[in-house]
Chain A
Amino acid sequence: MRRFLLPLILLGLFIAESIFVQLTPPGLFGSGKIAVPRFLIVSLLFLTIYGSKKHGVIYGLLFGLLFDIVYVEIIGIYLFLFPLIAYITTKLMKILQTNVAMASIIVIVGVALLEAGAYQLNFLIHRTDMDFASFLSVRLAPTLILNLIFIILAAFPFKRLFEKYALSLND
């Protein structure tokens, strides 16, 4: 049972993102603003910080592939970005100390990187023609606010969960 807990939680967050977008009213952060729920990458980054680095990158790869196939239908965007950001996080954690506040800041930076990376890739393949300035105000700012709220709510539960997970790996 223990072994399936983590994939189940990640799968739950994966589906929660889609349900969140379906249920929230469009003008949550002002009209025309788009706030993207990034619950999955938040949990993945907490996993890399408190759990295991290797597992963070591997789960990033798996769920990136799943995200691409199910939601985007263009394979490669999140398959590449999820593990890359998890990897950058492992490098950052070597320099910085791990308290919850610091970890939360790193996670929010990771969300910003993901959002900017997805924007750049979609811009390259002509799936959007938004310019960078309007990207910052229309998408990035509301997304960061939404995910910051989620991080504040979920930081402690995630910390406890993944620390337990790290212990169970050592056994």
Chain B
Amino acid sequence: MPQFFLNKRLIILLVSIIILVALIGFSLKDRENLTWPEQFLKDTTGFVQNAVSRPVNYVAGFFENIQDLQNTYKENKELKTRLDELARLESEVQRLKKDNTELREVLDKQDSLSEFEPKQATVIGRNPDRWHELLIINKGENAGIEPNMAVITSKGLIGKVKSSNTFTSTVQLLSSMDPTNRISAEIQAKDGSFFGLIEGYDKEKGLLLLKRIPYDAKVEKGQNVITSGLGGVFPKSLPIGKVVDVVPDEFGLTQTAYVEPGADFYDIGHVMVVKRGVLQPELMEMIDEKEEEL
């Protein structure tokens, strides 16, 4: 009899390992969105999280405000000195904007890669185990949020929408390790700009890796990095960060730049989900064209 029980236990263990592998394989598969039971569960818990996080954030915000009050005097002084500069900048921006629209009208070119419409959202949850850097936000498909949209804070790009449900969606941060997380970026230099791909994140240094920059590009420290809009999903000129260091890659054919992200990947309360103004061509259409050429 004990022999039998031992076997039963062994069988349960083996079956559960098979189920484990199958489930992990299923969820690692390159799927566009979650299945409906998952969406339903996420929305339901999202509802509870939303109800809990609002008062909690309110209380936390109150304490933060008290801390802010202590620095008010110093900050006020600094801000006043910047205010004069701001007025000048503002008038210049106005003029440039007007110029831009006029020139566009002359060219008869309506849509630009850098156009986008932002949607405000609040963070209601975060993955506690922090192996997968995911955030849960309180806007979903009914607010027009779709997978692969860019997510920014006021300081810069933080990630993309991984999956969207009806009332909530999940944001994958740039700091999470995922080989499919690739963003086409542009380094703004004095004489033109250089293109590369943001691939990966150095956790120890807290820097993003901007790879595949041409070997003859003269990238310097302190240059700004923005999205290029060439990846097809993100709009152009969302700020990412600043170049800190440049090294040649292992074969010497391209360069890799270390980029210090402008946004803080940890302290995130409110985010903006960005929808690109220009329509993205359907993948199927592009494939069809290619086949015709052949």
Q: Which residues of A contact B (CB under 8 A)?
A: 11, 15, 17-23, 25-26, 32, 34, 36-37, 66, 69-77, 79-80, 118-119, 121-122, 125-130
Check if B28 sits within 8 Å of A70, measured CB to CB: no
A69 with B42, Cβ < 8 A, contacts A74-B24, A127-B178 known? yes
Question: Whose C-beta in chain B lies nearest to the C-beta of A81?
Answer: B20
Check if A125 sits within 8 Å of B24, measured CB to CB: yes
Name the B residues within 8 Å of A76 (CB-CB). Answer: 19-21, 23-24, 27
Check if A26 sits within 8 Å of B24, measured CB to CB: no
Query: What is the CB-to-nearest-CB distance from B134 to chain A, in angstroms, rounded to a whole number?
Result: 7
Complex interface bits, B257-287 against A, C-beta within 8 A gives 1, otherwise 0? 0000000001100000000000000000000
Query: What is the CB-to-nearest-CB distance from A63 to chain B, in angstroms, rounded to a whole number?
Result: 11
Check if B131 is an interface residue, CB within 8 A of chain A: yes
CA distance A18 to B177 in the complex (A): 20
Question: Whose C-beta in chain A lies nearest to the C-beta of B48?
Answer: A15
- A-B pair count, CB < 8 Å, reads 106
Known: A80-B20, A125-B28. 15 other contacts (CB 8 A): A19-B53, A22-B125, A25-B267, A36-B130, A37-B128, A69-B41, A72-B129, A72-B131, A73-B34, A74-B27, A74-B28, A74-B132, A75-B23, A75-B27, A76-B21
Partner of A72, one of B49, B132, B163, B204: B132
Check if B48 sits within 8 Å of A11, measured CB to CB: yes
Check if B56 sits within 8 Å of A26, measured CB to CB: no
Question: Whose C-beta in chain A lies nearest to the C-beta of B266?
Answer: A26
Q: Which residues of B contact A (CB under 8 A)?
A: 16-17, 19-21, 23-24, 26-28, 34, 38, 41-42, 45, 48-49, 52-53, 56, 60, 123, 125-132, 134, 136, 162-163, 170, 176-179, 203-204, 266-267
Check if A127 sits within 8 Å of B52, measured CB to CB: no
Partner of B128, one of A21, A66, A75, A128: A21
Check if B24 sits within 8 Å of A73, measured CB to CB: no
Query: What is the CB-to-nearest-CB distance from B102 to chain A, in angstroms, rounded to a whole number?
Result: 46
CA distance A98 to B268 in the complex (A): 43
Task: Return the 7 tightest CB-CB contacts between A and B, nearest first.
Answer: A76-B23, A17-B128, A76-B24, A18-B125, A71-B127, A26-B266, A74-B27
CA distance A73 to B131 in the complex (A): 12
Check if A23 sits within 8 Å of B56, measured CB to CB: yes
Partner of A22, one of B38, B45, B123: B123
CA distance A19 to B167 in the complex (A): 19
- Please name 27 pairs of A and B residues whose Cβ atoms are closer than 8 Å in the assembled complex, sorted by A: A15-B49, A17-B128, A18-B125, A19-B53, A20-B128, A22-B53, A23-B60, A26-B267, A32-B204, A34-B130, A36-B128, A66-B41, A70-B45, A70-B125, A71-B128, A71-B132, A73-B163, A74-B27, A75-B24, A75-B38, A76-B27, A121-B24, A126-B179, A127-B176, A127-B177, A127-B178, A129-B177
Name the A residues within 8 Å of B123 (CB-CB). Answer: 22
CA distance A70 to B165 in the complex (A): 11
Check if A73 sits within 8 Å of B170, measured CB to CB: yes
Name the A residues within 8 Å of B162 (CB-CB). Answer: 73
CA distance A129 to B179 in the complex (A): 12
Name the A residues within 8 Å of B266 (CB-CB). Answer: 26
Question: Whose C-beta in chain B lies nearest to the C-beta of A78?
Answer: B129
CA distance A2 to B165 in the complex (A): 33
Name the B residues within 8 Å of A66 (CB-CB). Answer: 41, 45
Name the A residues within 8 Å of B178 (CB-CB). Answer: 127
Q: Name, among A18, A72, A119, the residue most crowded by chain B CB atoms within 10 Å (CB to CB).
A: A18
Question: Whose C-beta in chain A lies nearest to the C-beta of B26?
Answer: A75
Question: Whose C-beta in chain A lies nearest to the C-beta of B51?
Answer: A15
Name the B residues within 8 Å of A80 (CB-CB). Answer: 16-17, 20
Q: Name, among A73, A74, A127, the residue most crowded by chain B CB atoms within 10 Å (CB to CB).
A: A73
Partner of A79, one of B17, B23, B125: B23
Name the A residues within 8 Å of B24 (CB-CB). Answer: 74-77, 121, 125
CA distance A22 to B16 in the complex (A): 33
CA distance A75 to B179 in the complex (A): 19
CA distance A75 to B25 in the complex (A): 9
Name the A residues within 8 Å of B28 (CB-CB). Answer: 74, 125
